[in-house]
Amino acid sequence: MVDNLTNDITRLCGEIVGLRDSRAALRSHLAQGRDDLKDTVSRLRVDLRTAHQEMADKTTAELHDFVANVKDAVADVRQSVAAFREETLRDVAGAHRAWCGNISEPTPSQMAAAEQPTDFAPKAKKKKR
């Protein structure tokens, strides 16, 4: 019986030592995994920051180009409208001359007055009291 007890305690001590070694290996493996994951996340954050900055720079450049194109388009439209208004004013003056007799070409002040925007908004009615 003493031999059995000695054998059991010896076997139990061996298992305890083996489990300690396994636990130490597991902790080491988990620490290594944690460090690897930490490095991976750090690289990912740097890559995301870089990609975000590149997207922001690209978007800013595209917006500047878009605004410049819109400004050019508006300038072209304004120029076309001004030319059309001038042509229409001359045409109306020509029609007026043909209808009413010889009238001089419109003066620059008449052309400037014709270019002023007109307000077609209905006027508010006054309330009777």
User: What pTM did the predictor assign?
Assistant: 0.48
Whole-number Cα distances in Å, 119 to 43, 44, 122: 62, 60, 9
Q: Are 83 and 115 in contact (CB under 8 A)?
A: no
- What pLDDT, on the 0 to 100 scale, is given for residue 5? 87
Q: What is the pLDDT of residues 39-91, one digit of tens each?
A: 999 999 999 999 999 999 999 999 999 999 999 999 999 999 999 999 999 99
Percent of the residues in the chain that have a pLDDT greater than 90, as a whole number: 64
Q: Are 94 and 87 in contact (CB under 8 A)?
A: no
Instruction: Give me the phi and psi of 102, to 5 degrees please.
Output: -75, 115
31-35, 66-70, 77-81, 119-123: segment of lowest average pLDDT: 119-123
In angstroms, rounded to a whole number, what is the distance separating the alpha carbons of residues 111 and 104? 13
Residue, of 25 and 109, whose pLDDT is higher: 25
In angstroms, rounded to a whole number, what is the distance separating the alpha carbons of residues 53 and 64? 16
- What pLDDT, on the 0 to 100 scale, is given for residue 35? 96
